[in-house]
Amino acid sequence: MTLDFLGVARERVYSPGKVDDDRAIIDAVAARLAGAHRVRVVSGEAPLPEIGPPTIVFAMCQGPAALRVLRRWEASGVRVINTPAAIANTHRERMLAAFERHGVAHPTSVLLRTDGGDELPPWVDAGAWLKRGDVHATEPDDVVRIDGRAAARGALAAMHGRGIATALVQQHVAGDVIKFYAVRGSFFTCVAPRGAEPPAHDQQRAMNALAAAAAAALELEVYGGDCVRDRHQNLWLIDLNDWPSYAPCRSGASEAIASYLTAQTRAK
């Protein structure tokens, strides 16, 4: 059966340093689907077209204007992957609440107002990370390492000056940062930093389980993120994203995503 698929590419502002890689994965998925279906890809920056069911949407967009359209499509019966609710759940202020509700292993984190009205946690003195509380990073200063209270206050003030209302301060966990890429129930791969010991099979399974639990808490289907493996070999989830670039595994990931999309249509 021939189906209609619409891909919505990520807005450039939400792809800092990764515009080409982000576009490459959505184009690769479209190419996989195009062998048997009608497919087109549009930019999340442009006014989105009017569509309705049975079109299936695969969406990398993250901006408020595009998400409003995705919600309208979804309300009309269009299947959107990831759903607009799941995309919004990756905003750190929502993510933290979901992880704490579902018991997802993550470094100790606190959401703060950037206006300086909230007290800093005592562990900031030992080093921490400050991350904008809404969308993922759009520029380097959206995620910064802070060493002590003075640095934290300065970084909060800088975010406040840019119109960012909240920030997540996250306790630093020393260890190897391992990136992972996944599709719900069908695909998982992880990449250790250069020079670090690759995760053993059992550790990969544990990371997959942790990532899947986190994704389920946010209702994500196509996702990726970062884990820290500490010196005791414990795993801590430090970030989770909707639709990463899949740059190290684009071929296998695009095949898995295309298969997932077509399988979801059969489940409708």
CA distance 214 to 235: 13
Q: Where are the alpha helices (DSSP H) in 51-183?
A: 64-75, 84-89, 92-102, 149-161
Residue 68 pLDDT: 96
Residue 154 pLDDT: 94
CA distance 15 to 26: 13
- List the domain boundaries for the chain: 4-82+249-267, 108-168
CATH architecture assignment, domain 4-82+249-267:
3-Layer(aba) Sandwich (3.40)
Residue 135 pLDDT: 80
DSSP state, 14? G
Residue 179 pLDDT: 97
pLDDT tens for 38-95 read: 999 999 999 999 998 889 999 999 999 999 999 999 999 999 999 999 999 999 989 9
CA distance 22 to 16: 10
CA distance 40 to 83: 19
pLDDT < 70 stretches in the chain: 1-3, 265-268
Residue 175 pLDDT: 94
In the chain, what are the helix, strand and coil shares in percent, each to the nearest 5?
Answer: 40, 25, 35
Q: Of 108, 48, 107, whose CA–CA distance to 72 is shortest?
A: 48
User: What is the identity of the amino acid at 246?
Assistant: Y
Residue 138 pLDDT: 78
